[in-house]
Structures are given as structure tokens and as C-alpha cells.
Amino acid sequence: MHTQNTLQAATGQHAGAVRIGFNHGYAFDGDSVRLDAELLVGNPDIAAGQEWALQLWACEAPFAGEAVRGTKVAELAVGQLDALNQTWISAFTAALPPAGHTEHSMVLILASGRDGQFDKVQDFANFPRQESFVQPRLTGSAGFSLGEQSVGLRVDGIENPRVADNLSGTLSLELWALAAPYVAGAPEGVQLAASNLGTLPGQNGWHNLDLTLPLAARPAGTWHVTLLLCEWTAAGYATRDFANFSLPVNWPAETAADTAPLAVEPQPAAKPKAARKAAPKAAAKTGGPTQVSINRASAAELTAVKGLPKAAAAAIIAARPFKTIDELLTVKGIGAKLLDKLKDNLSL
């Protein structure tokens, strides 16, 4: 996942070695973005001695070389540049916009570096129009309540503002205990609860969600609580929107179940306005290999199954519940041969 950090021109940069020309731009297409730029090589010796990349940033304000908070949305490595005076770059690369639906100043960065690390800003171009990303979002207000063993989540609404034929990836709600209010990127803290909600067509929404979920941890200390709305993408779950709650929570050390972050898998039974049957319990076995429930196991338990790839385990969680073991053939990354090897270790 992306992280928010500070965009700042590095000292000692080779001004004019390579510059962004007048013709440049970007265009989003789903989870990808096309970056276009005319690159003007002013010093061929310096240009040939480094690796280069185009980066697209979403910032709080236009960039002028000084420090500004922002999120790197995309990066397109272009390798070394030859001695030609002009090079045209146009290609798609993966994009991960920042969470929330505020407006951002968009900046195209030409960066240099080595071994895939591009941390020296050589030139930049600000785009005149601010960008507000169209992605699933929370609407109205949200709240939570903590019990001894459960968490209550209340959300006025969740909307998918994309066009009508744009079905979202699997959406999930995640409640986190964080050391500081959430800003961007992967949350650093302890996940308290999570629930899969399913997919949502564009121009549709869910309203008046009231969920009761298992409390996964009671970490000792004082924490800021944040609700994340996440969407499954080709790169895993991406945070699309969030709500920071003003009042912190505190658990004394003697009641802490575990102070380490726990990976809590979203609960498929909590899909809004749709009754789900409880997953059947695995039959007790007195011998043979230990069986893992494909409907109830965590990601860690699934990936512990010999031969089951991590990506396939994540896809199983996103697609459940399953009525039969053979339905795993519909999961990306699992074929008939692999399923035959895994069957003895899996149950419903």
C-alpha cells in the first residue's frame, strides 16, 4: 500500500541534465494510470549514468521544490536515457490513489536513482487542475462500541460513485487501534475487527449498516481508533476511505490479550442486507492430516497449508463462503491438480 510522506527536491541535483518538456500528462483507467512525458536530455553524460523514473504524486499543495506532504500514486521506471536530445515516454503503470475524497494537487516528478530506488527529484511539473478520486466511500456518520468480546459498528452509508457498470472489488470494513490518527497508507497498529461486505455496483450504496463482530484484540495502552473502508484490488486490499474517531480508547496492561498486531480476516457473514448461512462445522477426525476450514480459517492458517500459495489464500478469503471443496476451482490460482493435493488438508 502507498504511504504519505514528504516530497522535496534533493540537494545537489543535476539541474537541467534531463527536463520534462512542454508535452506531458496522465490518464487514469481503473487501477492503472498512463503517464506521458516528453523528456529533454540536456547533459547526455549524466543522463546515461543514472536510472530514471516518472512519478505521479497527489499533494496537499502545488510543489515548488520545498517540502510538501503528499502521496506517491504511481511510479514508472524508464531505465537509462540515451544521448538523444528528446525522448517520449508513454506507458501504463499501477496506480494507488490516496484514501478519502478531498481534492489534491497533482504533480509529475522526474526522479533519478539506482537499483530501482528513485529518490532524487530532477524536475517536476504541476498540473493546473486538482484531482478528486472517484472511489468507494463512507457517507454520513460512523460509530463504534466495544464490549468484552465484541465490537459494534454503525455506518450511515457506503457508496460507489463510479459509473453504473463499474462493479467494485470486494469491500471490507476494518476497525483499527493506531498510535496516531490515520492519514494514509498501511495502518500501523492493531486490527480490532473486520468484516467483508461484498461487491457494490457503481451508482449504488448500502445504508444504515449495524454490524456486531468478534473483538480480535485488547492491546494495552491508549489508542486512536480508525474505521477503514478497503477494496480488494490486484495488489491486495487498498484503503479507499476512512473515519478517525475523536475519543481514544485505553486498555490496561493486565487485560491485554496480545499487544502484537493481529491479522483478522473479514467476516463474510456480515454482508449488508443479505442473510448468509453459517459455514458448516468441520467433522471431527481422529486421524490423518489436520484439516483447515476454507470458510473460517485466517490467512495465516490457510497459507500454513503445504502447497497453498499466499495469493491463493487471499483469493479464497475474498470469495467465500463455499458450499463444497470443489468450488475452490473457481478461485484464481487453484487448478485441478493443486486442489487434488490440497483436499486432504482442507474442510468446509
Domains along the chain? 4-126 (2.60.40), 137-270 (2.60.40), 292-347 (1.10.150.320)
Q: Measured in whole angstroms, how far is the alpha carbon of residue 275 from the centre of its chain?
A: 28
Give me the pLDDT at residue 10, please. 55
Give me the pLDDT at residue 310, please. 77
Give me the pLDDT at residue 82, please. 66
pTM here? 0.64
Residue 224 and residue 179 in contact, taking contact as beta carbons nearer than 8 Å = yes
- pLDDT tens track of the chain, all 348 residues? 344 466 666 544 445 678 899 999 999 987 899 999 998 887 777 777 788 899 999 998 999 888 788 889 999 998 877 656 668 899 999 898 988 888 999 999 999 888 788 888 989 999 999 998 899 999 999 999 999 899 999 999 999 999 998 999 999 999 999 999 998 888 889 999 999 999 999 999 999 999 999 999 999 999 999 999 999 988 788 999 999 999 899 998 854 444 444 444 444 434 454 433 333 333 333 344 567 888 777 777 787 888 888 777 777 877 777 778 888 887 777 888 788 888 888 887
Give me the pLDDT at residue 3, please. 46
User: Which residues lie across from 211 on neighbouring strands?
Assistant: 153
Give me the pLDDT at residue 289, please. 53
Cell 545537489 sits at which residue?
12
The whole-angstrom separation of Cα 252 and Cα 337 is: 50
Residue 129 and residue 27 in contact, taking contact as beta carbons nearer than 8 Å = no
Give me the pLDDT at residue 16, please. 65
CA-CA distances (angstroms) from residue 49 to 42, 52, 123? 13, 10, 17
* φ/ψ bin of 233: left (φ > 0), alpha (ψ from -120 to 50), beta (otherwise): beta
Q: Mapping DSSP to helix (H, G, I), strand (E, B) and coil, where does residue 123 land?
A: strand
Half-sphere exposure for 275 (CA within 13 Å, toward CB): 1
189 phi/psi in degrees, rounded to 5 = 175, -145
Give me the pLDDT at residue 64, please. 86
If you compute the radius of gyration of the chain from its CA atoms, what whole number of angstroms results?
23
Q: Mapping DSSP to helix (H, G, I), strand (E, B) and coil, where does residue 36 land?
A: strand
